[in-house]
Structure 1
Amino acid sequence: MGTASAAGLLLGFGLDRVLGDPRRGHPVAGFGSAAMRVERVTYRDSRAAGVVHEVVLVGAVTGLGIGLRRAVSGRAGRNGRRRGDVTVAGALGEVVVTAAATWTVLGGTTLAKTGREMADRLESGDIEGARALLPSLCGRDPEALDADGLARAALESIAENTSDATVAPLFWGAVVGVPGLLAYRAINTLDAMVGYRNERYERFGWAAARTDDVANLAPARLSGLLTTTLAPVIGGRPADAWRAWRRDAGKHPSPNAGVAEASMAGALGVTLGGRTEYQHGIEMRPTLGDGPVPRVPDLRRAVRLSEAVQVATALAAAAAAYLRR
């Protein structure tokens, strides 16, 4: 059923491009609410409790994906025994289920739209409006940032979340199908909820953070490879992106965000990192790339490169799913 899976991935990607995230009733938001309720039961200040929390929630979502896949396969198999082949109805069912799951887990269109809106507000001098928008992109303290700081924060978020919001879910969708799509989004959502190094989650969130690191190892490098290859789309040089990736990615505290941000910095010809202000305090991040600090035009270029990477990933994922037959 590789053809149906490939078609479903492309259709789901197309739905995300046209519709973006639903304003109400988003399944990922529903999962987050359920995870908060489960946390009231599972929370203990220990790694073991965090492992239980991760296994219960990711396992439930993965089981849902497996159940959906089996339901479609069972229907195709029953009809196939009568007709000697997989039926059109069975293939159509897989397309629909895969497309719906893909649209549910992708967030690249909303990411790019928010990046462009941030650039619009900064260009018009609406600093307060830009500060109000920043929390939808990242966890920086917007009140501490000027226009250039807001542009840098948004650009770094675009770089990292291109991988998290599009490349990684499509990668796992191509490799595992619907269970991979749903499991990845559950893993990434739990990391965003509890994967912090603060007093409450230092131990409880350890499993969520480490699982997210493992799930993103391959996708982040695919994202870096595509960012490097597609650098000419925004006037960059692949050699500069590759050099920044190889030289600077390892400096970043995240094994995956460093790849995405360093390759983007090299492609844009800017320097990312440095003093970074969060609500919980100040971090001195290593510098990535060469060149000036990013400004608003660089944010627009980053959005264009992000969209190019997303399209290339969708095509590659569909090809991989087709060959997975």
Structure 2
Amino acid sequence: MMEWATILMICAAYLLDLIIGDPRWIPHPVISMGHSIKRLEKRIRSHVLQPGHLKKAGILLPVIIVGGSLLITWALLRGLYMIHPWLATGAEVILIATTIATKGLKDAGMEVYNHLNRGDLPAARKALGMIVGRDTAHLDEPEVVRGTVETVAENIVDAIVSPLFYALIGGAPLAMAYRAVNTLDSMVGYKNDKYINLGWASARLDDIANFIPARITALLLVVSSWIMRLDYKKSYRTIRHDARLHPSPNSGFPESAVAGALGIRLGGENAYNGVVSFRAYMGEYSRPMDKGDIQSTVRLMLAASLLFLLLSILTIWSIGGTLWG
């Protein structure tokens, strides 16, 4: 019965996020994580200067931030449970919802689409610049579309499937621990001079945490493309051929799945602070990208997330039937 309670909490959290997202007037745990990461980084750097020692100290970031997030969430829920079980259940639903960003990801993608649909390319560039690290000020419309599709596809893992996956295993404490892992990676997991030593452990932990969810997401996107009557066969072939070409061990899986399903080619040249870098192509070039590809990617994202919930229900039902049968 505990497994079914977890499923119900996860479904409720997913719907809560889908309906209201992350209202700005409600304090978000990720903000607290960010402040804690900055404070801890500052303290480490004030005491550790040598690169070798800084690399060892980098292990402290995930140990303290991830471990602290898990323990604080567990202690909070434990205390609320002692007051009343329903209070703890409600809090757990809300906490899990804060680790998901289905509505936020959908809204971010559709904001770019809506600007393009109105013919306002400068506003679309600006909206894209809010969700990517690349330079967007001079992108043409197909490149704005590419950036949006890549970002939405990649974040299906980070923003939806991974937190749901860990919530399914360990409820809000493990989901919050995952969100801490992801926040650390977004803040210090860079291979530049500043973070190559301090951030290596955080970046590696993020790769490990997303390894299984990324591959589950890719398969869910293939099924979603079949449901949506897109090219599911090409989606699967593109995953097999191109997913591992991505510099990230995980991001290539959802991106290649979407590229194959839509019959477009992702990847290419991106500029970061004026420095141009090349990312391996995913998918075959068959046509220029257009704004409709953003809509299709958002729909694939929603379909894949709903399929994950259905898969979770079927898994729990199967396990429950085995245990009780």
d(CA) in 2 for partners of 1:235, 1:278: 36
> 1:73-115 CA distances to partner (integer Å, 9 max, x unpaired)?
667xxxxxxxxxxxxx53x345313311211111111101111
d(CA) in 1 for partners of 2:120, 2:98: 32
What amino acid maps onto 1:206 in structure 2?
A: W
**Cα distance, 1:203 vs structure 2:** 1.1
d(CA) in 1 for partners of 2:88, 2:231: 40
What amino acid maps onto 1:13 in structure 2?
A: Y
The residue number in structure 1 matching 2:6 is: 5
Higher relative contact order (CA 8 A, sep 6+): 1
User: Residues 73, 2 of structure 1: CA spacing in aligned structure 2 closer, same or farther, 3 A cutoff?
Assistant: farther
**Cα distance, 1:212 vs structure 2:** 0.2
d(CA) in 1 for partners of 2:5, 2:102: 23
> 1:280-322 CA distances to partner (integer Å, 9 max, x unpaired)?
6221111101233422111111111111111222333355467
Tell whether 2:248 aligns with 1:254. Answer: yes
d(CA) in 2 for partners of 1:70, 1:16: 23
Partner secondary structure for residue 276 of structure 2: strand
User: 1:20-59 counterparts in 2 under 5 A?
Assistant: 20-24=21-25, 25-43=27-45, 44=48, 45=51, 46-59=54-67
The residue number in structure 2 matching 1:313 is: 308
Partner secondary structure for residue 276 of structure 1: strand
Q: Is the 8 A contact 1:151 1:296 kept in 2?
A: yes
The residue number in structure 1 matching 2:192 is: 198
User: 1:139-154 counterparts in 2 under 5 A?
Assistant: 139-154=133-148
User: 1:278-297 counterparts in 2 under 5 A?
Assistant: 278-279=272-273, 281-290=275-284, 291-297=286-292
**Cα distance, 1:279 vs structure 2:** 2.2
d(CA) in 1 for partners of 2:309, 2:80: 23
Partner secondary structure for residue 177 of structure 1: helix
User: Residues 73, 321 of structure 1: CA spacing in aligned structure 2 closer, same or farther, 3 A cutoff?
Assistant: farther
The residue number in structure 2 matching 1:66 is: 74
2:165 to 153, 171, 176: 171
**Cα distance, 1:66 vs structure 2:** 2.7
What amino acid maps onto 1:59 in structure 2?
A: G
User: Residues 318, 27 of structure 1: CA spacing in aligned structure 2 closer, same or farther, 3 A cutoff?
Assistant: farther
Tell whether 2:233 aligns with 1:239. Answer: yes
d(CA) in 2 for partners of 1:102, 1:318: 17
Higher mean displacement: 128-137 or 150-159: 128-137
Partner secondary structure for residue 137 of structure 2: helix
Q: Is the 8 A contact 2:243 2:282 kept in 1?
A: yes
Q: Give unmatched runs, 5+ long, in structure 2.
A: none
Count of residue correspondences: 311
The residue number in structure 1 matching 2:131 is: 137
> 1:162-186 CA distances to partner (integer Å, 9 max, x unpaired)?
1110000000111122221100000
Partner secondary structure for residue 230 of structure 1: helix
Q: Give unmatched runs, 5+ long, in structure 1.
A: 76-88
**Cα distance, 1:217 vs structure 2:** 0.3
Q: Is the 8 A contact 1:174 1:320 kept in 2?
A: no
Tell whether 2:305 aligns with 1:304. Answer: no
